[in-house]
Each structure stands twice: as C-alpha cells, then as structure tokens.
Amino acid sequence: VNQSSVTEFILVGLSSLPEHQMFLFVLFTFSYMAALAGNLLIVLTITTSTSLHTPMYFLLINLSLINVLSISVSIPKMLHNLLEHKKTIAFLGCIAQIYLFTWTLGSEALVLAAMAFDRYAAVCHPLHYTIIMRREVCVGLISGIWIAGAINSAVNTGFVLQLSFSCSNVINHFFCELPPVLKLSCSDTSLNETLAFLADTVFGMGSCVVTLTSYYFILRTIFKIRSTEGKKKAFSTCSSHLIVVILYYSTAIYTYIHPSSAYSPDRDKVITVLYSVITPTLNPIIYSLRNKEVKKALRKLIRRLWLYQSE
C-alpha cells in the first residue's frame, strides 16, 4: 500500500461559506433524525405486527435497514465537520466510508429488484405466490444480496488501497464516496474506474432490467383485469415501490455511470444528497402513507406504546 504520505483527507463539504454551515447543520440533523425514526419505525411496525409477516414486508425491513446504514455512513461525520473548522477525516475512516456506502448502494439496488420480482409474483402468479416466495427463497435471496453487496464493495475498496494520494488530500465532497476519491489519486485509476463501471452495470443496470421487466408483466396483467376496483387494488400494491425505484435509479445511475470527463463536483454533490439523504428519508414516508396495511399496523403500534406509557 503506497498511501504512506496521506494520513487524512480534507472534506470540502456541501458549501464552504460560513453563513451556510448552521443552516446545513440544522437541515441535515433534521433529515437524519427523520430518516432514522421513519426507517426504524417501519422495522418495528413490521416485526411486531403478525399480519405484515409476508415476503413483501420482509424485503421492506431489509430496505429500511440498508437506508439506516447508508445514511449513518455519511451524515454523522458530515454534521461533526459542519461544527468544526477543520473538516478532516482519517485515511482509514475514509476507506470505511467508501466500503460501507458502496455496500449499501449495491445492496439497495438488488433489494429494489427483489421487491419488483415479489410484486410480479403476487400480481401475475397469485396462486403460486406462496410457493415462489416461500421462506427459504426469501432468506436465501436476502442473504445473497447482502453478501454480493459486501463482496463487490470489498473488491472496489481493496483496489482503492493500491492507489497513491500524495498529490492532493482535498476531497470536493461531503463524505468519501468512490468517484470523488478516485479523482484525487495521482496513480492510474483506469482499473478502478473499469471495476466501478462493471459493478454499476451488474448491480445498477442488472437490477434495473429485473425491475423494468417485472413491471412490464405487472402492467400487462393489470390492464387485463376487467374491474376498475381490481385494477386499482393491484396497482396500489406496486405504486409506492415504483416511486422509490424511480427516485433511486434516476440519481444513483447518473452519478456512477456518467463519464469522468463530465464530472462536475457541485452538481454531483447535489445528486448524491438526493440518493444518500433524501431517498432514505422519503422511503418510509412513501411506504407508510401509500399503504393501508402499514398504516393500520402503525396505528396499532402507536396505540400500544401510548397505553404502555400511560400505565
């Protein structure tokens, strides 16, 4: 490893203007709290409500856990740096951020694809649904997703350790993410960029294809349903997932697939905020507001907690 000259990196953050720091601190503290509360509430609601012990909600728990992990990788350190004048991160801290964030990013793409397949099985093969999505399949699927995400991230992060960072240690970003860190290196990063591109193609494009194919069959089935009520019901189970998918893919794929020559740090930071902060904050809201079963279970949980408090 030839990074001996660099022990820490300086993170430029979202804005270097002093008057913006407090506003950003309040905004991101609020977002972080909302994302944590929302996602953990979804996990708690699903685990405590037996009516929600189905494959779809088992996948949703995993999506919420990924959201908690991904937002916790970047935001706490960023909030700490907003209050400090010295915005640094240790070399190993930076590597840890790259590893964990790349892990959650890849896993999230796969979980969204698994959720699309689950909806496809439910809408297009309702009679075989319990066989297709039986417990062993769900557990195997999720284990595979977390492991695939971890391996992909280990490979990409491992190759970052081979690079030299003696030219500059200033990262124009609010946390250590793969693209801006590769930009800094004095070494030849073509192998890293090829690996990252391959991972994006397999994880991003692959899961995108699974998702779009699933929705093609879902929509085809929905249009064949005679009753308006049946159409509505079938579509309502998919609409929240569809919104989340569009939010995630439109921003994440843009960041990782555009050519390095088209790299604009400030625009990229805004896009990163969308999928690393806004999406984890919005996901629980989208799922709980657009879903009658979750709303019902949530009300039950709140009633139980309230009764427990008042005893």
38 in a structural domain: yes
Task: Establish if 1 belongs to a structural domain.
Answer: no
Q: What is the pLDDT of residues 168-205, one digit of tens each?
A: 889 988 999 988 898 888 888 899 988 988 888 888 88
Number of domains the chain contains: 1
pTM beyond cutoff 0.85: yes
pLDDT of residue 253: 67
Structure tokens at 15: 């804005």
List the structure tokens of 192.
């890293």
- Per the domain annotation, does 118 fall within a domain? yes
CA distance 267 to 274: 11
Distance in angstroms (rounded) separating the CA atoms of residues 43 and 37: 10
Q: Which two tokens stand for residue 128?
A: 């075989």
pLDDT tens, position by position, 206-264: 898 999 999 999 989 888 888 888 788 777 778 878 888 888 777 776 766 665 556 67
Q: What angle do CA 266, 74, 279 make, to 5 degrees?
A: 75
CATH of the domain at 227: 1.20.1070.10
The answer to whether residue 2 is domain-embedded is: no
Domain that holds residue 306: 8-310
Q: Is the residue at 262 inside a domain?
A: yes
In a domain, 3, yes or no: no
Are 101 and 74 contacting, i.e. CB atoms less than 8 angstroms apart? yes
Among 273, 238, 231, CA closest to 252: 273
In 3D, which of 27, 51, 21, 28 has the Cα closest to residue 298? 51
Q: Which two tokens stand for residue 191?
A: 């192998």
